[in-house]
Chains A and B, each alone.
Chain A
Amino acid sequence: MDPRAKLLITIAYIVMLFFVDYFVVYAFIAVLLLVVIFLSKVPLHKVLRSIKAVLFLLIFTFILTIVFNQGQGEEAEIAKFGWYAHWGIFTVCGSGLLLGGKLICRLLLLVLGPTMLTFTTTPVALTDAVEYLLTPLKWVKVPVHAFAMIMSIALSLIPGLMEETTKIMNAQKARGASFDHGNIFKRAAALLPVLIPLFVSSFKRSDDLADAMDSRCYRGAKGRTKMKVLKFRLIDYLAMLLTVALFFFILMLFYNWWGFAWINIILVA
């Protein structure tokens, strides 16, 4: 698929998630996402691993929403769920649980969607897509090409810089520096002898890179062609059309256009 289509769909997907208010719809989106994962042939466990990074955030938000949500109409709550606990400023109630559950669904789907984008798209394709989609900004003299170039270079330099950081840290450790003792301020201060050489070496690195780019005839966007020409194909149009349809459906539920909220009642029941 075209990276531009993928990027647009991902953006729409993220916005869409904020308009969803029902578990059934979350489940529906999750099923769609599963289909996407299946079609992309990315191993499921690899995708799920991305959750690990946000696991703490998930649990934290879940507990906070449960604990601080007061619920509306206590009797109603008790009547409906038959369970209500109150302890100082903390309240655990049904509506809090519901809200927490929804938040978790939302966050999970928010993480998993864009993960699929990065799994199936190379950084270069992605920057190309960004460059194309930001083209309108060129009319107001924003250096879009430069931005895209910076993005692509930054992405390609990250592994190198990480390597450099470990190297410098090891060098400082060999000279008796310690990075895992003392309180947080001491630790931060201990990082200073790492950051300074890192800065110096990144400047040297960018100097070298500039020379290398110059000698490979780089002259900005002028007269530049692309090896991989971006091309929208039928599947891209179809996918975008589907996304628009889904978005429309969700907005319809959310704002109750034409009294379509009756669908909710069926869905909730």
Chain B
Amino acid sequence: MSIISVKNLIYKYNEDEEDEVTALNGLSFDVEEGEFIALIGSNGSGKSTLAKLLNGLKEPSSGTVTVDGIDTTDKPHIFDVRKTVGVVFQNPDNQMVASIIEDDIAFGPENLGVPPKEIDERVDWALACVGMSEHRKGTPHRLSGGQKQRIAIAGVLAIKPRVIVLDEATSMLDPRGKKEVMDVIEGIRERENMTVIMITHFPDEAARADRVIALDRGRIVLDENAHSALSDVERLRAYGLDAPLPARIAYELRRRGIALEGEIVTNSELKEAIWRLK
């Protein structure tokens, strides 16, 4: 069974009012356990709305979202849904509940009624996962954006979700912060075999995923293996999206008559292709 299953999902803001806006218009996709999915789309394509639908913060106007067999509109079981799917949001400052890091991370497990000793262990573990163990007793306000976001991720990890959704979690960070967060996510994925859904509008970040789902005006326009999706520069552009830099370089070179071989998404692939030129 898929861990998340979305069927004919429609979501409208201000439903049945004059200013009704259809944010998502008939999405269907399944997420298998252990997948690393990048959800891309230009502004207003409905990416962030989808994030909130995945753990029941919003309810679908029609269609269903099922998490580990539980419908997200099933109120008595909503905490089972949220326990399974953890969401990290865009602005790290707005996700801090407490003014001491360990207390903030303990917030999730405390809500779930985990015994005190285990909460303590989970906090240790979550901080180790994001490489912030030495900051346990510190306050978040003096940290850099990347570090704050790592704390926010630790706060979600402490709940021990099976799926972690990152809603543009790197968009407010500087390049160094972005790299920090991306490295942490890859680390978690490798060690904990967690399912990751990363919402982003940075093509270079999407290139780290296995599968890419692209949204355009509330519809899925692309759902395939990340490599082939991101190497097709023209198709991405048609949906208002950018390809990763190496793919764009390869595209421009080809347009100028240089016959590079294969699908090119990463730096090393571009390098290989250039070396193989005769």
**Is the beta-carbon distance between A229 and B116 smaller than 8 angstroms?**
yes
Is A124 touching B89 in the complex (CB atoms < 8 A)?
no
CB pair A212 B103 closer than 8 Å: no
Binds A, one of B80-88, B178-186, B264-272: B80-88
11 A–B contacts from the bound complex (CB under 8 Å): A156-B98, A156-B99, A160-B93, A208-B94, A215-B82, A215-B87, A216-B86, A223-B112, A226-B110, A227-B103, A228-B116
CB neighbours (8 Å) of B100 from chain A are 122-124
Q: Would A159 and B103 be within 8 Å (CB), given that A217-B159, A225-B114, A226-B116 are in contact?
A: no
Inter-subunit contact A213/B57 (CB<8 Å): no
Chain B CB within 8 A of A74 CB: no
B96 partner residues in chain A, CB cutoff 8 A: 156, 160
* Interface hits, A196-227 → B, CB 8 Å: 205, 208-209, 211-219, 223-227
Q: Which residue of A lies closest to B158 (CB)?
A: A216
A153 within 8 A of B: yes
CA A55 – CA B166 in complex, angstroms?
49
**How far apart sit A76 and B126, CA to CA, in the bound complex (Å)?**
73
Chain B residues contacting A226 (CB-CB under 8 Å) are 110, 116, 119
Also in contact, A124 and B99, with CB within 8 A (given A225-B110, A227-B120, A229-B116) = yes
B104 contacts across to A, CB distance below 8 A: 156
Q: Confirm or deny: A155 has a beta carbon within 8 angstroms of a beta carbon on chain B.
A: yes
List residues of chain A with CB within 8 A of the CB of B89: 208, 211-212
A264 within 8 A of B: no
**Contact digits for B141-185, partner A, Cβ 8 Å, 1 yes 0 no:** 100000000001001100100000000000000000000000000
Other A-B pairs, 14, CB within 8 Å; known A160-B96, A225-B116: A122-B100, A123-B100, A124-B100, A124-B103, A152-B98, A155-B99, A156-B99, A159-B99, A159-B141, A160-B141, A216-B97, A216-B156, A224-B111, A227-B116
Tell whether, in the assembled complex, residue A208 and residue B95 are in contact, meaning their CB atoms are under 8 Å apart: yes
| B109 CB contacts on chain A under 8 angstroms | 225, 227
A residues near B26, Cβ cutoff 8 Å: none
Which residue of B has the minimal Cβ distance to A155? Answer: B99
Q: Is B107 an interface residue (CB 8 A)?
A: yes
CA distance A205 to B103 in the complex (A): 20
State how many residues of chain B have any CB contact under 8 Å with chain A. Answer: 40
**With A153-B97, A208-B91, A223-B113: A217-B83 Cβ-Cβ less than 8 Å:** yes
The residue in chain B whose Cβ has the minimal distance to the Cβ of A217 is B111
- Interface check B130, CB cutoff 8 A: no
- The reply to whether B94 and A212 form a contact with Cβ atoms under 8 Å apart is yes
B140 CB, min distance to chain A CBs, angstroms: 8
| Residues in A neighbouring B106, C-beta threshold 8 A | 227
A217 to B81, CA, bound (A): 9
Q: How far apart are the CA atoms of A156 and B159 in the complex, in Å?
A: 21
> A214 to B94, Cβ gap below 8 A?
no
- Residue from the list B97, B116, B159 in contact with A152, Cβ < 8 A: B97
Task: Report the bound CA distance from A208 to B55 in whole Å.
Answer: 15
Q: Top 6 A-B pairs ranked by shortest CB distance? A: A208-B94, A156-B99, A227-B106, A212-B95, A216-B108, A227-B119
For the complex, give the distance between the alpha carbons of A213 and B96 in Å: 9
In this assembly, does B123 line the interface, its C-beta being within 8 Å of a C-beta of chain A? yes
Most chain B beta carbons < 10 A, residue from A155, A205, A212, A213: A212
Q: Is the CB of B108 within 8 A of A217?
A: yes
What is the CB-to-nearest-CB distance from A80 to chain B, in angstroms, rounded to a whole number? 53
B257 within 8 A of A: no
B239 at the interface (CB under 8 A from A): no
* Least Cβ–Cβ distance between B50 and chain A, in angstroms: 14
A216 to B104, CA, bound (A): 11
Q: Find the residue from A212, A216, A218, A223 having the highest chain B CB count within 10 A.
A: A216
B86 to chain A, nearest CB (A): 7
| Cα–Cα distance between A231 and B159 once the two chains are bound (Å) | 25
B102 on the interface (CB 8 Å rule)? yes
Contacts of B120 in A (CB 8 A): 227
Chain B: which residue is nearest A229 at the CB level?
Answer: B116
Min CB gap B74→A, angstroms: 15
Instruction: List, in ascending order, chain A residues with CB within 8 A of B116's CB.
Output: 225-229
Q: Which of B89, B91, B103 has the most CB of A within 10 A?
A: B103
Collect the chain A residues with CB atoms within 8 Å of residue B235's CB.
none
Chain A proximity of B43: nearest CB distance (Å): 17
0/1 per residue, B52-89, Cβ < 8 Å to A?
10010100000000000000000000010011001101
Residues of B within 8 A of A217 (CB): 79, 82-83, 108, 111-112, 159
Measured in the bound complex, the distance between the Cα atoms of B141 and A219 in whole Å is 26
* Chain A min CB distance to B33 (Å): 20
B250 to chain A minimum Cβ distance, whole angstroms, is 39
Asked if residues A213 and B93 are in contact (CB atoms below 8 Å), the reply is no
Partner of B155, one of A123, A152, A216: A216
Q: Report Cα–Cα, A156/B103, bound state, in Å.
A: 11
Q: Does A156 contact B94, Cβ atoms closer than 8 Å?
A: no
Which residues of chain B are near A224, meaning CB under 8 Å? 110-111, 113
